Amino acid sequence: MNSAAPRVDAHQHFWRLSRGDYRWLSPQLAALYRDFLPADLAPQLARAGVDATLLVQAADTLAESEFLLELAHATPWIAGVVGWVDLDHESAPRELERLARAPKFVGVRPMLQDLDDPRWVLRPRVLASLRVAAELGLRFDALVKLPQLASVLELSARLPQLRIVLDHAGKPALREGAAWSGWTTWRSLVAELARSPQCFCKFSGLLTEAAPGAGAAELVELAEFLRATFSAQRLMWGSDWPVLELASDYSRWRKASEVLTHTWSAGELAQIFGLTAVDFYGLSPLALLASRPTAQPSQLHP
């Protein structure tokens, strides 16, 4: 891989339990039920040679967006924040405009996979809000499973000016293997989505969707499918840390990803491990290289 190209983790999270708005996070998820903050991740990034990250929301509140922006302001290697805004509320355009004034606010992510209405993203007020987001230069992270995937495809047709990235490849049911009845539909929808030049895909969150103990061998076919449909120019690597801790750890996922891409060209590797995220989120490569984390925790617990 081109050593001058920044290496970016395009998808990671932080949370502080005392904030109290992580409705999905319970003591039953023992591996995740504690605070995860920049000091916890910095040494892992340094060991993996990652220069910068994209910090993605984990709670559906405006307070979450503000919390993440505070962390980003105090942490040079957080290149951008993908936050949350209630896109189906009349205040959404105003909130988007306010948040977009923060230099590191780069996008929005509603938690579509958790909503009862699979076509929520196509509601008139949501579409109007996303039109404003596109005008502001913000990106859209699509957190979906198969039931919401067709709506994201329709969204891309309705708002061709909106740059969309499919989180975690649309979460195919890897755990079910060949027995999953949704494979044909998932492949068809993802391939059609990839035909839209404004649509990208995150190579992330895959081990947590796979069977326990899965590694690179179980993801070879999926990796080649995504490479063939999106190309490396629209694929970006992410860790989905610390959710990743449910299935693996940072180092093992990074190494598995390198195994999966070992036949890719140097140009393709530069894209998936950094330049695609730079392009999609509108980042400065030189700024990312100048702000890389160090091997020692930065003690950032604001």
Residue 287's pLDDT band, with cuts at 50, 70 and 90, is: confident
User: What is the token pair recorded at 10?
Assistant: 């395009």
Q: Is 117 helix (H, G, I), strand (E, B) or coil?
A: coil
pLDDT at 70: 98
- In the beta sheet, which residues pair with residue 78? 53
Quick check: bond before 27 cis, omega within 30?
Answer: no
| pTM (predicted TM-score) | 0.95
Rounded distance between C-alpha atoms, residue 257 and residue 259, angstroms: 5
Residues of the chain above pLDDT 70, percent = 96
The pLDDT score that the predictor gives to residue 92 is 98
Report d(CA 46, CA 197) in Å as an integer: 33
pLDDT higher than 80, residue 297: no
Nearest to 150, CA basis, from 118, 126, 124: 118
Q: Which of 140, 159, 32 is nearest to 85 (CA)?
A: 140
pLDDT in tens, 102-155: 999 999 999 999 999 999 999 999 999 999 999 999 999 999 999 999 999 999
273 exposure class (CB count in 10 Å sphere: 0-12, 13-18, 19+): buried
For residue 298, pLDDT beyond 80:
no
Neighbour-count burial of 246, counting CB atoms closer than 10 A to its CB (0-12 exposed, 13-18 middle, 19+ buried)? middle
- Report whether 248 contacts 219 (CB < 8 A): no
The pLDDT score that the predictor gives to residue 291 is 85
Res. 294 pLDDT band, cuts 50 70 90: confident
Return the residue matching tokens 């920044």.
6
By DSSP bridging, strand 139-142 and strand 164-166 are parallel
Bridge-based pairing state of the strands 139-142 and 105-108: parallel
Q: What is the mean predicted confidence (pLDDT) over 275-287?
A: 94
pLDDT at 300: 38
Per-residue confidence (pLDDT) for residue 3, from 0 to 100: 58
Question: Who wins on pLDDT, 291 or 145?
Answer: 145
Is the per-residue pLDDT at 222 higher than 60?
yes
In tens, the pLDDT along 75-87 reads 999 999 999 999 9
Question: d(Cα 300, Cα 272) in Å, to the nearest integer?
Answer: 28
Provide the 3-class DSSP secondary structure of residue 192.
helix
The answer to whether residue 191 scores a pLDDT higher than 70 is yes
**Please, which residues have CB within 8 angstroms of residue 11's CB and are 6 or more apart in sequence?**
54, 56, 167, 168, 202, 204, 205, 236, 238, 239, 240
Q: Mean pLDDT in the chain?
A: 95
- Using alpha carbons, list the distances in angstroms from residue 93 to 69, 70, 135, 164: 18, 21, 11, 18
Rounded-to-integer distance, Cα 6 and Cα 121, Å: 33
Q: Percent of the chain beyond pLDDT 90?
A: 93
Q: Which pLDDT score, from 0 to 100, does residue 295 have?
A: 59
Q: Is the pLDDT of residue 1 over 50?
A: yes
Residue 164 or residue 292, greater confidence: 164
- pLDDT, residue 2, reads 54
Q: How many Å is the Cα radius of gyration of the chain?
A: 18
Q: Which residues pair with 4 in a beta bridge?
A: none
264 pLDDT more than 90: yes
Q: How confident is the model at residue 301 (pLDDT cuts 50, 70, 90)?
A: very low
What's the CATH code, domain 8-286? 3.20.20.140
Which residue type does 138 have?
L
Question: Does pLDDT of 302 surpass 50?
Answer: no
Comparing C-alpha atoms, which of 130, 55, 117 is closest to residue 85? Answer: 130
